[in-house]
Amino acid sequence: MGMKNTDQLLGTLDLLVLRVLATAESLHGFAITERIHKVSIDALRVEEGSLYPALHRMDEAGWVKSVWGTSEKNRRARYYQITKAGRRHLAELEGNWAAHVEAVKRVLKHA
């Protein structure tokens, strides 16, 4: 695969966040974590300490853009949207993830 373990972990977080943002108009950070938790049926939880640095990194890379707004609880929050570049990156990540899953399946089946 050519990816370092750390890169794979970062790629997985990026994959989850970008996939959630691709299915929504815009979401604030807490809503992103809640969506991942809910859709994964409580199996995955993204902590703030991981999410916000990832969002900042993705913003700098141009994969997401952010604007300030007001949350449902009338609090100031940064809302994130996926960009065209983010959609292209998401497609690449999804392909990499599918290849990774297939490789693991082969090892589990034939090792």
Q: Would you place residue 111 in the very low, low, confident or very high pLDDT band (cuts 50, 70, 90)?
A: confident
CATH level 3 topology of 5-104: Arc Repressor Mutant, subunit A (1.10.10)
Cβ-based neighbour number of residue 28 at 10 Å: 21
Q: How far is CA 82 from the centre of its chain?
A: 10
Domain ranges of the chain: 5-104
| pTM for this entry | 0.86
3-state secondary structure of 4: coil
d(CA 17, CA 55): 8
Find where tokens 């940064």 sit: 78
Tens digits of residue pLDDT in 16-39: 999 999 999 999 999 999 999 999
